[in-house]
Amino acid sequence: MAYAIIQNCCTDATCISVCPVNCIHPTPGEPDYGHTDLLHIDPDACIDCGACADACPVDAIFPVDRLAGSLVHYGEVNRQYYQDNPNSHAWGKPDFPRSVPADLGTLRVAVVGTGPAAAYTAQELLRTAGAEITMIDRRPMAGGLLRHGVAPDHQATKRIGDSFAQLYRNPRLRLHLNVEVGRDLSAADLAAHHHAVVHAVGAPGERRLGVPGEELPGVLSAGTVVGWYNADPDVPAFAVDLAAERAVVVGNGNVALDIARVLLSDPERLAGTDIADHALAALRTGSLREVVLLARRGPADAAYTAPEFLALRQLPGVRVVVASDEEPLGTAPGKSALLHGLPVETVDWTRPAPAGRRIVLRFLDRPAEFLGQGRVEAVRLASGGLIPAGLVVRAIGFRGVPLPGLPFDEATGRVPNLGGRVTAGTYVAGWVKRGPSGGIGTNRACAKETVDALLDDAAAGLLPPPPRSAADFDRLVRRRCPGATGLPELRAIDRLERERGAASGRPRVKLATAAELLSVRGR
């Protein structure tokens, strides 16, 4: 029986590298890679060896005959991909890793960030170049968006963090947490102690709507809400108020769906995850019963992926409806077909949200103004309608922010680069390099491209030895950042959170503030 890949695929291509018959696509060298919702196994070519399932870091591969419930249709999803995209499974040219000249010595590379892009970059450098790595993060806990961005009910996706935890223990890697480049250290400080610097800091900025009332309390960014339920120490416990019965989420990408799903999930269902304690308490006592997903485009152009939308449709105890006066949607091919079977209702926004919990999909409309006295109370639509709401979440995309000492393109929100190279010695990886697109696994191929550029520069003699040593850098960090932490504190935090989780039947109970995270020093 063939294997199939299911919803929580991270697309990092680990499975591709172990498949003996090359029947998993798209591969990193194919045009669709990074753009499909998940990777796919050809059931006609699969030899049922199970190597891919053993290698998958997020447990997303199963024999088709073992799929049950909401996962059954993924067997057909995998098969349909090859009907639409025939593939001979021919092997491409071998891709030999770059190497550095023997007389160059050991490369020392600083990686700014500890999220997936940073971790994949460090892994690639350790594997192919035998480099010494310094990883730096402004937060006192490593993980980036893997810790603070992945929804708490996506625990399988977070398993990829186990491989990153092993990375931090590598004897050729130094970890400096609670250290901010641009505040505690300068770009010149990094360059003076390393052959090269890779910035992998993500895209922490967010796009704005530019409509009146956007500054009202209760109009929040997606980053604030996601950070709130994921125990981001930058987001206070009181940041999100769930006293209202209705919320409007502007946007319909995967982040918007995550927010709607978490806000309306049964709190007891989330109680078995690593959701922040303060968020779980607010969900248990809050009044929210309806979330409106507001999208300016139609369902055919929706930004969400099919697996995420199908998961939303199957949320226990939550009705999903389409707000429309038109004929039922979902008969067209593509993403419109995902709406097939959903009820289409004319929603009277002047009335309170109905009993139970409901997600309303509103297409082809956008906010024109946010109204309220001291706090948001309603959204005026461009179509002329008015939706009463006590919470509005802006989920229309992220963007990079300028980095100290680096060029920045305001139009794209990215650091200008060529294959990850900004200049010889300075590189970028992840969202700050390519923009906020692609899942966690997409960063693996992105990081490899950046590392290849770095090693090409090293081989060309463009990375002169730094004047200062690694020990000098450690002393600089201790002098400039007396509150800096590292691997011992990271491991102490992990142990403590897991112990707290075990006591309450959860994978972990997160420390939610910087003070709590820093309190583990000395453990």
pLDDT tens digits along 148-169: 999 999 988 888 888 888 899 9
Q: 254-264 and 222-229 are packed helices; what angle lies between their axes, rounded to 10 degrees?
A: 50
From 344, 377, 396, the end of a domain falls on 396
Query: 364 lies in a domain?
Result: yes
Which pLDDT belongs to residue 25? Answer: 94
The CATH number of residue 148's host domain is 3.40.50.720
- In angstroms, the first-to-last Cα distance of the chain is 50
Among 62-71, 381-390, 488-497, which is the least confidently predicted range?
62-71
Per-residue model confidence as pLDDT tens digits over 286-344: 999 999 999 999 998 899 988 899 889 989 999 999 997 654 454 555 788 889 889 99
The CATH number of residue 40's host domain is 3.30.70.20
Per-residue model confidence as pLDDT tens digits over 113-161: 999 999 999 999 999 998 999 999 999 999 999 999 999 999 888 888 8
From 379, 396, 413, the end of a domain falls on 396
CA dist 411 → 401, 419, 470, 491 (Å):
11, 19, 37, 40
Query: 52 lies in a domain?
Result: yes
User: For residue 489, is pLDDT > 70?
Assistant: yes
Q: What total number of domains does the chain contain? A: 3
pTM: 0.92
Residues 250-265 as b or e (16 or more Cβ within 10 Å = b): bbbbbbbbbbbbbbbb
Distance, in Å, from the CA atom of 444 to the CA atom of 366, rounded to the nearest integer, reads 35
User: For residue 34, is pLDDT > 90?
Assistant: no
Query: 362 lies in a domain?
Result: yes
User: For residue 245, is pLDDT > 50?
Assistant: yes
Query: 462 lies in a domain?
Result: yes
Quote the percentage of the chain above a pLDDT of 90: 74
What average pLDDT does range 454-473 have in this prediction?
Answer: 94
Which pLDDT belongs to residue 329? Answer: 54
Q: Is there a single domain that holds both residue 324 and residue 471?
A: no
Query: 438 lies in a domain?
Result: yes
Which pLDDT belongs to residue 100? Answer: 72
Distance, in Å, from the CA atom of 447 to the CA atom of 88, rounded to the nearest integer, reads 28
The residue ranking higher by pLDDT, 348 or 325, is: 348
The three-class DSSP label of residue 334 is helix
Per-residue model confidence as pLDDT tens digits over 380-393: 999 999 999 999 99
Which pLDDT belongs to residue 477? Answer: 97
Distance of CA 133 to the CA centre of its chain: 23
Query: 97 lies in a domain?
Result: no
H, E, C per residue of 78-118: HHHHHHHCCCCCCCCCCCCCCCCCHHHCCCEEEEECCCHHH
Q: Is there a single domain that holds both residue 278 and residue 382?
A: yes
Instruction: Answer yes or no: are the C-beta atoms of 112 and 201 closer than 8 Å.
Output: yes
Q: Which domain range does residue 219 map to?
A: 208-396
Query: 89 lies in a domain?
Result: no
Question: What confidence tier does 426 reach under pLDDT thresholds 50, 70, 90?
Answer: very high
The CATH number of residue 311's host domain is 3.50.50.60
Per-residue model confidence as pLDDT tens digits over 77-109: 999 999 989 998 988 877 777 777 777 789 999
Query: 518 lies in a domain?
Result: no
Dig out the tokens for 202 from the structure: 């993500």
Q: Is there a single domain that holds both residue 246 and residue 298?
A: yes
Question: What confidence tier does 403 reach under pLDDT thresholds 50, 70, 90?
Answer: very high
Dig out the tokens for 377 from the structure: 């109370």
Closest CA relative to residue 313, chosen from 295, 293, 328, 332 = 293
Count of H-run helices and E-run strands, the chain: 17, 22
Distance, in Å, from the CA atom of 110 to the CA atom of 436, rounded to the nearest integer, reads 22
Which pLDDT belongs to residue 190? Answer: 97
User: For residue 345, is pLDDT > 60?
Assistant: yes
Distance, in Å, from the CA atom of 142 to the CA atom of 491, rounded to the nearest integer, reads 10
Exposed/middle/buried for 330, CB within 10 Å: 0-12, 13-18, 19+? Answer: middle
Which pLDDT belongs to residue 327? Answer: 47
